Amino acid sequence: MHKYLDSKESSAELLRLMLPMMAQHPAAFHPVSYALWYEYVAGTNRLLMEGIDAALKAGETFNEEKVADLYVRFIAERDVADGMRMQVRLERIVADLAKTVAAAGIRTSDYNESLEQYGETLKKGVDVPALEALVKSLIEGTQTMHASSATLKGELKSSNHAIEELRAELARAKGEAHTDPLTGIRNRRGLEEVVEKVEADAEGTGLNGSCLIIVDIDHFKRCNDTYGHLFGDKVIRIVGQALASNVKGRDTAARIGGEEFAVFLPQTPLHGACALAETLRRAVEQGRIKRVETGEIVSKITVSLGVAAYESGETFENFMRRADHALYAAKAGGRNRVSVAEAAPESPAANKAKRAQNP
């Protein structure tokens, strides 16, 4: 993941410069669009600058499709290149270790064979999870050799340090890929990762016993139009903090869209999820946000929430869809309230309800 090194002051100035440019085009104000214009104004991405300048000169309109295309070509692919850079670094460490082991003249056939296998694997290209597995295996092998060979002690210590640094870098890259940069909580990909782990660790029970809360900021567009996008970002951060401070243990808060959030609650009964949703609603409603420019205190920020209990056998996509429908019901009911999803049409709970209505 690319690192941005601008100070808070300089990044604020870049934001001031780029917002008028973004406003001239139909693409929405979202993280992808922000990243595109931020790097253009900062002048740190030469290829992106050339691509945007060429499009502007040709009179092109930056709609969602155009913004996505430029982002993939000049930003996302660069991040892939960062992954390749880490792979090359690991290749170099493996090659240096192989030379050291061979020069030592010690019986290290098993370790040497492992290094050769790592080298062949890396030549084929691997993704970040595979790199993590290779790094872990290489650390274990290196530590074994370090303990058993006095001759290689210095060299292996240095190599082990380099590999540990690479592992830390991979961990940071993985964390950044699953974290929403504005709020610091998980993003949609991060939420999906948590759900997948719960499914895998549940020993056949899947997501049974889980609940999901979908949260949406009320009248967010009006808030942006009235107070500006910087204040809107502040509202999103405040809501994200409110969610993060009220989830415990295995529960996970995530920002899954512009002003939309989710709270995943494994092994939580519906009444517990509803109680938490009400706590979150009150926490946001009681919050006060000060506008930096005027000192005005804004106290009319509220959220609507939809709660769903997992129905055995349904997909996570359908689980989320039912929670989303409950959210729409909360919006339609006047906003700033909690609504509970109906059971899935073919679920045991729904069939039981039908039988009760039609004995």
Angle between helices 109-124 and 77-104 (to 10 degrees): 160
- Nearest to 39, CA basis, from 65, 8, 63, 17: 17
Residue 215, SS3 per DSSP:
strand
How crowded is residue 130: how many other Cβ atoms within 10 Å of its Cβ?
A: 14
Please list the pLDDT of the chain residue by residue as tens digits (359 residues): 455 556 677 778 778 888 888 888 988 888 888 888 888 887 767 788 888 888 888 888 898 888 888 887 777 655 554 555 566 666 677 767 666 666 555 545 666 667 777 677 777 776 667 777 777 777 777 766 655 555 566 666 666 666 776 666 665 655 556 788 788 898 888 898 899 888 887 566 778 999 999 999 999 988 888 888 788 888 999 999 999 999 988 899 999 888 999 999 998 999 999 999 999 999 999 988 877 667 777 778 999 999 999 998 899 999 999 999 999 999 999 999 999 998 765 555 444 443 443 44
> Amino acid identity of 335?
R
Question: What is the structure's pLDDT at 334?
Answer: 95
Return the beta strands (E) in 236-296 as ranges: 252-255, 260-265, 289-290
- Whole-model pTM: value is 0.55
pLDDT in tens, 209-234: 999 999 999 999 888 888 887 888 88
Question: What is the structure's pLDDT at 327?
Answer: 97
Quick one: fold of 188-357? Alpha-Beta Plaits (3.30.70)
Helix (H) or strand (E) holding 132: helix 128-148
Question: What is the structure's pLDDT at 290?
Answer: 77
Half-sphere exposure (Cβ direction) of 110: Cα atoms closer than 13 Å = 5
Question: What is the structure's pLDDT at 333?
Answer: 95
Question: What is the structure's pLDDT at 266?
Answer: 93
Question: What is the structure's pLDDT at 356?
Answer: 41
Pairing verdict, β 303-309 and 338-340: parallel
Question: What is the structure's pLDDT at 189?
Answer: 84
Helices (H), 58-187: 64-71, 77-104, 109-124, 128-148, 153-177
CB proximity list for 90: less than 8 A, separation 6 or greater: 122, 131, 134, 135, 138, 163, 166
Which residues carry out catalysis? 259
The token duo for 229 is 């996008």
- Identify any residues that bridge with 261 across adjacent strands, giving them in sequence order: 215, 255
Contact 307, 338 (CB under 8 A): yes
User: What are the distances in angstroms from CA 14 to CA 5, 6, 51?
Assistant: 13, 9, 19
